[in-house]
Every structure is written in C-alpha cells, then in structure tokens.
Amino acid sequence: MSLKGKTAVVTGSNSGIGLGIAWEMARAGADVVLNSFTDRQEDHDLARQIAAETGVAARYVKADLSKAAECRDLIQQAGRCDILVNNAGIQHVAPIDEFPVDKWDAIIAINLNSAFHTTAVALPMMREAGWGRVVNIASAHGLTASPYKSAYVAAKHGIVGMTKTVALETAQEPITANAICPGYVLTPLVEAQIPDTMEKYGMGREEVIKTVMLERQPSREFATVEQLGGTAVFLCSDAAAQITGTTISVDGGWTAL
C-alpha cells in the first residue's frame, strides 16, 4: 500500500488518532502536513520526528479550525492535498437543556464545519492532480446516539452525511470519500472524560474504563491509534478505489449490537 508521491493533510494531528494516522500515512510513504491550533516547539518536533524516522517530508501548520478562514488557509498553505483527513474534534457532555451555547457552536465548527471548508479547497487540488482521497473521522456516535452528547452526535451524524454527499459528487472521478467510525480509543479526548465519570459514578479509573466505557464495546478492548491509521491508509490504497460514500466502523462490535 504505497502512498509515495502523495501528500496527506491530517487535521488535529498533534495528538491521539490524528497523530496515529499521520504516522501510518508517513510509514506508507506519503508526505504529511500535521495541524492543530497551537504553535509550540513540540508541535513542529512531531513533524521532524516523523520525517527523520520515515524519510518522508513532514511539516506542521498551525490553524485554528474553529475559524473558516483558517481551515481554508491550512489547505492553501499545504500547497498540495492528495489525501485529506478531517480528524480534528472536541467533545462536551451536558444535558441538551443545559448545553452551553458556546460549546455547541465550537463542537459544530470544529467537528463538522471545518471539514466542509477544507474539503471545498482540497477537491479542486485533487481534481488537478487527477487523484484524491477524503477520509473523515466520524465516530460510533455518527451512527448511534448517546445521552448528553447532543452536539457531538449531531456533528458526527452530519459528517457522515457530508461524506456520502462528497462521494456522490465525485463518484465519476478518481476521488473517494469515506468516513471512519471509531468506538473508544484511549486518547487525550477520552482521558479527559474519565475524572468526571469517576466522580459521577463514585468509581475508580479502572472501573470506569471497564464498566462504563468498554461495556459498550463488545471486544472489551480499546482500538489503537495505529489501527485507525491502518484503516485510513487502506482507504487510500488502490484496493479501496471502489469504496466510496461508506462508513467503516473500528469499534470492537459496538454498532453491531
């Protein structure tokens, strides 16, 4: 599955799943553009480390994807975008009648609107190059709902719908668009939910992981960021050229229940 000669832009890739995807793209030979909203030495060091260990070109571009102009500018700055991975995401948990409006707006902006803006700029580049792959990181919550996650569930269902639409708009071109729907992966986003859940249920960390989180995941194991990266690389391979407009669940059986 060589992606040599391709450039992959992975949004929200200075940690978690995005970073795992960037690593696997680079291991498959693609040049990578990493991104987040910070501009720290350690962000740029991640790109240097990927370049040093895999031999591809890698760089980090700061862009706050809650802002439309910065989403569009990220793709312009990349200069080339054969593979677009819309991965950036945030989460907030609250009953809908208490959901803070600013949190709702931020979740929809980062988890959904950013993918609209990046895709709109990247598609003409893909057409120019005669090849393209859009890989959107949705969630099991893009296919099922969960109480107290209304904005997240809405954004993830939205991105699944947008993925199918992009696939139809590019169906007769050498471009595909698909969504990956992870279940639980132990990243900073999930780590951040553990303390509140411990307090809410009066449980220890391991008990929360076992009885609250992995209870939903029939495999009773977290997926890894490497497995998510491998799935994204597969969707970019020639073997997946006729796979478009679909979702691939990497959720240990969650959505089969």
Stretch that binds ligand NAD, among 75-83, 115-123, 179-187, 198-206 (CB under 6 A): 179-187
Query: Which listed residue (23, 184, 234, 254) binds ligand NAD by CB under 6 A?
Result: 184
Q: Is 51 in the site for ligand NAD (CB under 6 A)?
A: no
Task: State which of positions 68-87 bind ligand NAD (CB under 6 A).
Answer: 87
Contact 10, 35 (CB under 8 A): yes
* Residue 12 binds to ligand NAD (criterion: CB under 6 A): yes
For ligand NAD, the closer CB: 107 or 123: 107
Minimum Å gap between C-beta 26 and ligand NAD is 16
Residues 6+ apart with CB under 8 A from 177: 119, 133, 134, 135, 136, 163, 164, 166, 167, 170, 244, 245
- Shortest distance (Å) from residue 247 CB to ligand NAD: 12
- Of 94 and 129, nearer to ligand NAD (C-beta) is 94
Burial per residue of 152-166, b for 16 or more beta-carbon CB atoms within 10 angstroms, e otherwise:
bbbbbbbbbebbbeb
- Residue 201 annotated as catalytic: no
Q: Is 110 in the site for ligand NAD (CB under 6 A)?
A: yes
Structure tokens at 67: 């802002």
Residue partners of 140: CB distance under 8 A and separation at least 6: 181, 182, 183, 216, 249, 251, 254, 255
| Shortest Cβ 30–ligand NAD spacing (Å) | 18
Q: Does 179 bind ligand NAD (CB under 6 A)?
A: no
Q: Which residue is listed with tokens 């109480």? A: 147
